[in-house]
Amino acid sequence: MISLSERLESAALALSGPQCIKDRLFNAWSQHLADLELRDFPRDLRDEFEAMRDALGRERALPGDSILKASLRKLSADEAARYAALIIRTYGCVAALKSPQVTVLTRNAPPPAILADRTRAAGG
């Protein structure tokens, strides 16, 4: 069984490809997200995912075409970018739930003692 995090990671990677944004969104949605239930997503992002799902399935398909492709053709580039950002943001939220906290050094802060000790020992 593949986790939501793995699905979102795959979708995020599909969004980072070289194609135009609508083609990348097509690949991310059709290959990794279309078959997921809304209940699988974080509660605070479900409404946005529902709106995206509705937008990606609202247009009538032409012969030999899919509803998804027809719907993507009707989206503006800004709408497509907004939906791509939603997928990335959701992946970040889900990944953060599984990730431990990290300590970030500020630009002017001295290095942690262990790094300072190693630098001195190396003659730096």
**Residue whose tokens read 């939603």:** 86
pLDDT of res. 15: 96
Quote the crossing angle between the two packed helices 21-28 and 4-15, to the nearest 10°.
160
pTM of the model: 0.76
The answer to whether residues 26 and 34 touch, using CB atoms and an 8 Å cutoff, is: no
Per-residue model confidence as pLDDT tens for the chain (124 residues): 688 899 999 999 999 989 999 999 999 999 999 999 999 888 999 999 999 999 999 999 989 899 999 999 999 999 999 999 999 999 999 888 776 555 666 666 666 666 655 556 666 5
